[in-house]
Amino acid sequence: TVLSVTMAIGSHKLSQQSAITKRMTAIEEMAGMDVLCSDKTGTLTLNKLSIDKNLIEVFAKGVDKDYVILLAARASRVENQDAIDAAMVGMLADPKEARAGIREVHFLPFNPVDKRTALTYIDAAGNWHRASKGAPEQIPPPLCNCREDVKKKVHSCIDKFAERGLRSLAVARQQVPEKSKESPGGPWEFVGLLNLFDPPRHDSAETIRRALNLGVNVKMITGDQLAIAKETGRR
């Protein structure tokens, strides 16, 4: 009975700090915690992505950084966006540019297996195209069968971004001469590499410091590169 009353008081105090207790025994379990594993994106960071246009790397001939951004925006949702889609479309002068002059045929949403999105669309001349953005190692086929020197440059750029705490996002394009959304399309062309910065939350450092003072070690859980995790921790 005494234990139940004590935990009830603890639950009430937690509710005053906007923490809801769904299971009373969780309070006792939390009191014995010595390691806290925290997700990085959206927990330690704001999950509000930004892009440094000056750092965008262009690999396709005859295109500029604005075109890389436009392709990435086309390969994004214009409604019900996630953080990456919002960042891509937000780089345009007008969000409507993402679908201007084209007719959307099919959108492939992000999934954990493919790790990319893609839009099949028809341009004003009636030609079919496909734009894709995603993890550099997942753009089909890997890095679009680039030459070895190009692959080395891409990996060098990715490592350079990671050391600065920036995630890499690859952008590719292809033509779809069969004019069918089910068609695999022609050869993919690797167009460019974007950088994504996700700033730490303003209170992350203080929260971690308080946890350490209470004897709780904090571990960061992330699918990003080790260099990105280290730079996030340093910030």
**What is the tens place of the pLDDT at every residue in 90-102?**
999 999 999 999 9
The reply to whether 22 falls in a domain is: yes
Q: What is the mean pLDDT of each run of 10 residues along the chain (235 residues)?
A: 79 85 83 91 91 94 96 93 93 94 95 91 96 86 74 91 93 94 91 94 92 94 89 86
- Whole-structure pTM value: 0.81
The reply to whether 212 falls in a domain is: no
Q: What is the pLDDT of residue 31?
A: 82
Does 26 share its domain with 57? no
Does 174 share its domain with 86? yes
Does 104 share its domain with 154? yes
Q: Which domain holds residue 8?
A: 1-32
Give me the catalytic one of 34, 39, 66, 149: 39
Q: What is the pLDDT of residue 105?
A: 97
Give me the number of domains the chain comprises: 2
Does 99 share its domain with 181? yes
Three-state DSSP state, 107: strand
Tell me how crowded residue 40 is: count the other CB atoms within 10 A of its CB: 20
Q: Is 39 a catalytic residue?
A: yes
The reply to whether 111 falls in a domain is: yes
Q: Are 80 and 44 in contact (CB under 8 A)?
A: no
Does 23 share its domain with 66? no
CA distance 132 to 173: 6
The reply to whether 86 falls in a domain is: yes
Q: Are strands 116-122 and 167-175 parallel, antiparallel or unpaired?
A: unpaired
The reply to whether 74 falls in a domain is: yes
Does 13 share its domain with 68? no
CA dihedral 60, 61, 64, 65 (to 10 degrees): 20
Q: Which residues of 151-173 are buried (b: 16+ CB within 10 A; e: fewer)?
A: beebeebbeebbeebbbbbbbbb
For the chain, the C-alpha Rg in angstroms (whole number) is 23
Q: What is the pLDDT of residue 73?
A: 96
Does 63 share its domain with 162? yes
218-235 pLDDT, tens digit per residue, is: 999 998 888 899 998 888
